[in-house]
Structure 1
């Protein structure tokens, strides 16, 4: 009889976990989220589909600006930002489903007049492009380096191409995508100096059973190597050497 009661309880818990949809707010950011004719694709979309399929949860995806996605998630239960950099300043604001993957960042220069730079100290006195709200810009600021912040990574890349800045700080996969899709005089070999953790940030009042189940299935996908295979697929697609 006790086993029957436990089974019924677990069944009710599963139903409760699926009672309300979990809304994932994301933003267009190729090659992580690509939007073409109302169709979404990219690395993050592939990860989302895996999580939805494996967990059996009612996960819904909505595209918003990064700022609006962040604010809505702060105040709306059963909602998450997908994905976002997990930083110390944000840690206490959300319940985290993590880790998804690590982003590697490098400093890039033009082919013309490129300097042989081996450490961040070598970048003192030169103007570095980055984008507002990124953890890499906060990291570079801590070294008192000269920053030029724009609204998007592509804006910074174009500034480097036009020689309005001296270097560009960007994650390696996004850089590979931008250089593959734009005719820019930028050396694809950058100086790697930083990494950040991408994660899912959920409202703290969200259904804990849903979040726990989501975390468990993310853990399974990490152990099986399925997420790593997706990452390697996109790295190869845009010419990043996965053997390093």
Structure 2
């Protein structure tokens, strides 16, 4: 009798543990990370750390509406630097990061939801600069500023252009004005928006050398059905004109 009682208790314990584990596993809450990348993502106080409602921007609003429509819970944090949050999303199950350019070398590293918005790649110079170039090959010999860890900087490095890297992209606007760099490799409209925030307005586009689409990148362990729900929700929002309405509020 005692033996049967022990077996019954053990079976009950296993069932309870299994139930708790199942409840914990059913939690679809995703941890979303972003950075200051105006006008797509930005802290309302302008600092490099913010949480939840203290974050705004085109991509932030689109992501919020997408998760609401999909019925999936999340928490949102803005952190610095980009390399750190990229690594967290790459390595931690249940994590995601936005906005990220969807490039061939990144394709298999994440699961993707998007596109959220465009990000053209440009070389900017001061308005009175005499620099004239036809392609990136002709940019060799010029001092080019770029944002450390960003896809644009990585692309330039792979092509042997050796950009001068800054920890904040907006720092390159002032470097350009001060003559520390000849050209600023950045995104459009992000670069011009950032420049205006630090009082720099007289810039000229010297070269437009790529056009990328920006996405929410999710860790590969995020279930496919969650990714599909988010993508369907975003597609619905775009079809209804909600995405364009959000962009119009900022641009």
1:101-126, CA deviations, whole angstroms, 9 ceiling, x for partnerless residues? 22012111112333233333432321
1:52 aligns with 2:67: yes
Distance in structure 1 (CA, Å) of the matches to 2:76 and 2:159: 37
SS of 2:154 mapped into structure 1 = helix
- Structure 1 stretches of 5 or more lacking a match? 1-14, 236-244
The residue that corresponds to 2:117 in the other structure is: 101
Aligned pairs for 1:156-195 within 5 A: 156-184=172-200, 186-195=202-211
1:91 aligns with 2:107: yes
1:119 aligns with 2:127: no
Distance in structure 2 (CA, Å) of the matches to 1:155 and 1:112: 20
For the pair shown, the structure with the greater C-alpha radius of gyration is 2
Distance verdict in 2 for CA 1:54–1:187, change over 3 Å: same
- What is the TM-score when the length of structure 1 is the normalising length? 0.79
SS of 2:100 mapped into structure 1 = strand
1:70 aligns with 2:78: no
Distance in structure 2 (CA, Å) of the matches to 1:208 and 1:77: 13
Aligned pairs for 1:12-23 within 5 A: 19-23=27-31
Distance in structure 2 (CA, Å) of the matches to 1:29 and 1:203: 21
Distance verdict in 2 for CA 1:159–1:20, change over 3 Å: same
Is 1:17–1:209's contact at 8 Å kept on the other side of the alignment? no
Distance in structure 1 (CA, Å) of the matches to 2:246 and 2:115: 15
Distance in structure 1 (CA, Å) of the matches to 2:127 and 2:137: 21
- Structure 2 stretches of 5 or more lacking a match? 1-22
Is 1:97–1:211's contact at 8 Å kept on the other side of the alignment? yes
Distance in structure 1 (CA, Å) of the matches to 2:99 and 2:24: 25
SS of 1:89 mapped into structure 2 = helix
Distance in structure 2 (CA, Å) of the matches to 1:67 and 1:142: 17
Q: Alignment partner for residue 57 of structure 2, among 38, 42, 52?
A: 42
Is 2:113–2:231's contact at 8 Å kept on the other side of the alignment? yes
**Structure 1 residue 190: Cα displacement:** 4.3
SS of 1:229 mapped into structure 2 = helix
The residue that corresponds to 1:132 in the other structure is: 148
Count of matched residue positions in the alignment of Structure 1 and Structure 2:
221
The residue that corresponds to 1:202 in the other structure is: 218
